[in-house]
Amino acid sequence: MTTIALACQEQLLPGTNLIQKYALATALGYQGIELRGRGDLAFARRLPELRRARAAGVVLPTVCVEMDHFIGDFDPTRSADAVRNLRSQLSVIAELGGVGVMTPAAWGMFSRRLPPFEPPRPPAGDRQVLLDTLGELGEHARAEGVTLFLEPLNRYEDHMVNRLDEAVALCAALALPSVRVVADTFHMNIEEDDPHRALRAAAPYLGHVQVSDSNRYQPGAGHLDWPALVRTLLELDYRGWLALECRLRGDPVRALQQAATVLRHALPRRPPR
């Protein structure tokens, strides 16, 4: 019977190092830790720490970029720097035996829903920048044997890629199997008319799923229907991870346990042998 593995982002887990964090994560019901990739090539400088964790059995499937500028930046220098950092992060996660790295087109740079409403670059320019940067990164990811995941963000955080179908269109234009889409339940709750229909339409390009509830807190703290969402993913034969990316309400350990319990109850039980 198909099931889906759970990961928790590293900053959510109490502990002084990844080995301690992983021990807690597995005790709570998670199978992996999603890392955070900061800029200035900081992630590559963590390699000694990450190698030790990997040698100790810590499962590190994915990296979520954590920078103040991204591939779709209006400034070509900042866009190029985001590409440089992502290339490095892809190489590092490949060495660790992981799956891939995710990035939005941009975050906090511009929103058509806030003044001045019209960005300085036309939509055709946005698309070309994204195709160019995703193409370069996709080729690098393919050479490293990992995947670059493009994450749509809600309309208040980005103006370029807000829905799954917009990310899918870029992936389809690139035709690189090493570039896939991230579905984030918080952003989908804002942007998708029907999240289940959006997931089904994106299924051939869906590579990763990040989870938080409707209010950006842990699953179970909001109003999302987790059994229905998980059921849709299982129907699609989704084989990736569910990675917890959220804020925590209440005691951190109890909040993480709540999230794992909610998600686990939504997943099928393996039949006894």
Catalytic residues: 151, 245
Token pair recorded at residue 2: 């198909």
Closest CA to 104 of 78, 74, 82: 82
Q: Is residue 14 within 8 Å of 253, Cβ to Cβ?
A: yes
Token pair recorded at residue 257: 């346990």
Token pair recorded at residue 130: 């994204």
